[in-house]
Amino acid sequence: MAKPIHKDQQAADQTSQAVPAAKLDFWHSFRLQAMLLALLSILFYANTFTHEAAFDDMMAISENQYVQQGVSGIPSILTTDAFQSYLEHKSGSNQLAGGRYRPLSLITFAIEQQLMGVAPDTETSNEKEARIAAQMHSRHMINVLLYALSVVILLAMLRYLVFPGNPVAAFVATLIFAIHPLHTEVVANVKSRDEILSVLFISLTFIKAFKYYDNRKTVDLIMALACFFLALLSKEYAVTLGALIPLSFFIFRKTTLPASLKASAIYIAPLALYVLLRQASVTEMAEGAEKNVLNNPYLYATPVQKLATEIQVLLQYLKLLLLPHPLIADYSYRAIPYSSFANPLVWLSAGVYLALTGAMVWLVSKRHLLGFALAIYLGNLLLVSNLLVDIGAPMGERLIYHSSIGFCIALAWFAGQWVGNNKAATTALAGALAALTMAAGYVVIDRNKDWKNSETLFMADVRKSPDNVLMNNNAAAGCMANAKRTTDPAERKEWFTKAIAYFDKAIAIYPDHMLAHLNRGLSYFNMGQPYRALPDWDTVRKHNPTQPNLDNYFTYAAKYCYSEGNRLAAAGKNDSAIYVFKLGVDAAPALPEMWYQLAAAYLRAGDAATALSSIERANVLSPNTPDILKLKDQIMTAGK
């Protein structure tokens, strides 16, 4: 016997079908609303079409070996951590806290790579850089189109499920979501496609789950299960559907709680499959990685400070939803100072969120749609709050993307209460939305410019977050990249000087930042001051001797010292030559020719004992070399 159609479903169907000509206006037409929202989504982000790789795009795309292999890399993508290829290639192990099993977006990148062309084995570094830059243009276009599609699907979900019979409220909620400046990171940073796909498939899951509940068509159930699984493969947020699906049945279909749980039981299947795949693929964080403040932002905080800061961050999220300024790409160590329970903002945040939680429970018990909105907001925020599991970052603008759906639903409901059936109020609402759209468009389009590439992003954001260690380090890296691009010696020196200033700040904030030491040394070396590079590289060698490229840098420095020492010796400046050769053997103690020249310099200075120990070191490194043996005899003769 067919299941009777619920009255809410009947209202939803009426809004999705053709309406009388008198009502065939924008506020009732799904097609017109969808077209406008898609157009706005594209217009807001069209200036990203010429953008390059920025920030985490390197981890997910350009330096991800599995993605760069094209479709042949998909099996590896499906069976490993999201960033395992990059992290193990760069550091030999997983340095990030928490597992990241998000293969779907990486699979789309791999398919794109296959279509755009897999890199040839003979590709040079310059050719790779040019290829990646050109390919990123297409990836940015795809990202924007997927965003526009997700916005349209969200509109369909809200019209069908949350606001049946109230297309005005559904449109208002979706418009606020589509234009919100806090979403620029998600769209402008291609790596964050996982967020877009997640919202897309979560929305489809709700639509198909309710289609099946209302009509009992098997195809809808299959689609709901498939979309749920794809949402899980997009990003971990979809686990909240385990609670939100029965909750939504309870609220929107007025079922009893046991009936809601029974109707939702089938959705345990894709969740269980995802958990099994995740457990088989996710790797633990490398031993010792938790002692790096870049991986563990609360490393230097007491447990009480950590909890207080986590609570205060929740208020910061709410503030950014209401006033998205300033927009910052990363909130690493010292971007958010450690707090304490002596800070009134911590208690304000705790009070606000306790009130929101209490309101959610009460509204859910009343089967009110605001209970659903709060459940979306609080449930998704809890996953990234660090209260349940450390995620390796105190906060991030992309991390509020899913929660913002609940925020937008709530705003739309309140707007709907204000407007009601009042035509004048509806006109006023339209004017307010138009003004809001223009203001948001200005902010979004302007912010998109910062996401052009990593250099533009961090040079812009370091001014807004000057005490952020990662921001200073990456701004310095951007200066180094600009220095390498110019052929003007004066301009090149200016960029390296700026880089060193940013590295100085990063190291002052976090003295154990080995990458900053490494690159500050490289900046000094490229400025023609190799002697100033060696202390930084010595620091890296003591703390992280396996740092990639470190041995090469020391070899370059040693060769410079060898050449400069010989020049000084030829000029009769033997004491200076000894100083330089000593720097050389410190830099590359395995080079016998450096020890040979140091021994010769000491012999000229009349220090036969030190000359002998130096030449013996050379002989150990290169036994029975005629020149070494000859100099050793001379030294021994001089010492008699």
CB atoms within 10 A of CB 115: 12
List Cβ neighbours of 82 (8 Å cut-off, separation of 6 or more). Answer: 60, 100, 101, 102, 103, 106, 194
Nearest residue to 509 via CA among 474, 555, 468, 566: 468
Looking at the predicted structure, is the pLDDT value of residue 1 above 60?
no
Question: 554-639 has which CATH code?
Answer: 1.25.40.10
Distance CA 227, CA 244 (A): 15
Distance CA 452, CA 536 (A): 31
Alpha helices in 63-166 (DSSP H): 65-68, 74-78, 84-91, 103-116, 125-157
For the segment 259-285, the average pLDDT, to the nearest whole number, is 93
Q: Provide the residue type at 578 as one letter.
A: I
Distance CA 318, CA 84 (A): 33
Specify the pLDDT at position 127. 86
List Cβ neighbours of 199 (8 Å cut-off, separation of 6 or more). Answer: 150, 154, 401, 402, 405
What would the two tokens of residue 246 be? Answer: 């029965």
Could you report the per-residue pLDDT of 487-510, keeping only the tens digit for each? 999 999 999 999 999 999 999 999
Specify the pLDDT at position 86. 72
15-30: burial string, b at 16+ Cβ within 10 Å, e else: beeeeeeeeeeeebbb
Distance CA 231, CA 429 (A): 34
Specify the pLDDT at position 84. 80
* Phi, psi dihedral angles at 159 (to 5 degrees): -65, -40
Looking at the predicted structure, is the pLDDT value of residue 49 above 70?
yes
Distance in angstroms between the alpha carbons of the first and the last residue of the chain: 113
For the segment 597-618, the average pLDDT, to the nearest whole number, is 96
Percent of the chain with pLDDT over 90: 84
Specify the pLDDT at position 596. 97
Are 466-548 and 554-639 equal in CATH topology? yes
Specify the pLDDT at position 89. 56
Looking at the predicted structure, is the pLDDT value of residue 91 above 80?
no
Q: Provide the residue type at 105 as one letter.
A: S
Alpha helices in 17-101 (DSSP H): 30-45, 57, 65-68, 74-78, 84-91
Between 381 and 87, the more confident residue is 381
Q: Provide the residue type at 522 as one letter.
A: L
Q: What is the mean pLDDT of the chain?
A: 92
Q: How confident is the model at residue 286 (pLDDT cuts 50, 70, 90)?
A: low
- Is-contact 298 309, C-beta < 8 A? yes
Could you report the per-residue pLDDT of 533-557, keeping only the tens digit for each? 999 999 999 999 988 899 999 999 9
Q: How confident is the model at residue 88 (pLDDT cuts 50, 70, 90)?
A: low
Count of all residues that appear for the chain in the document: 640
CB atoms within 10 A of CB 489: 9
Q: How confident is the model at residue 382 (pLDDT cuts 50, 70, 90)?
A: very high
Segment among 9-13, 71-75, 480-484 with least mean pLDDT: 9-13
Fold classification of 466-548 is: 1.25.40
DSSP states of 231-299: HHHH-GGGGGHHHHHHHHHHHHS---HHHHHHHHGGGHHHHHHHHHHHHHH--PPPTTGGGSTTT-TTT
What would the two tokens of residue 487 be? Answer: 């052929």
- Is-contact 65 85, C-beta < 8 A? yes
Distance CA 366, CA 363 (A): 5
What would the two tokens of residue 315 be? Answer: 């208020």
Cis peptide before 167 (omega within 30 of 0): no
Distance CA 454, CA 465 (A): 16
Specify the pLDDT at position 125. 81
Could you report the per-residue pLDDT of 104-145, keeping only the tens digit for each? 999 999 999 999 998 888 888 888 888 998 999 999 999 999
Domain range annotation of the chain: 7-47+142-446, 466-548, 554-639
Could you give the C-alpha distances from 360 to 211, 284, 374, 379, in angstroms and in order?
A: 26, 35, 6, 11
pTM of the entire predicted model:
0.91
List Cβ neighbours of 592 (8 Å cut-off, separation of 6 or more). Answer: 617, 618, 619, 621, 622, 625, 628
What would the two tokens of residue 60 be? Answer: 């997910």
What would the two tokens of residue 221 be? Answer: 């159930």
DSSP 11: H
- Is-contact 298 389, C-beta < 8 A? no
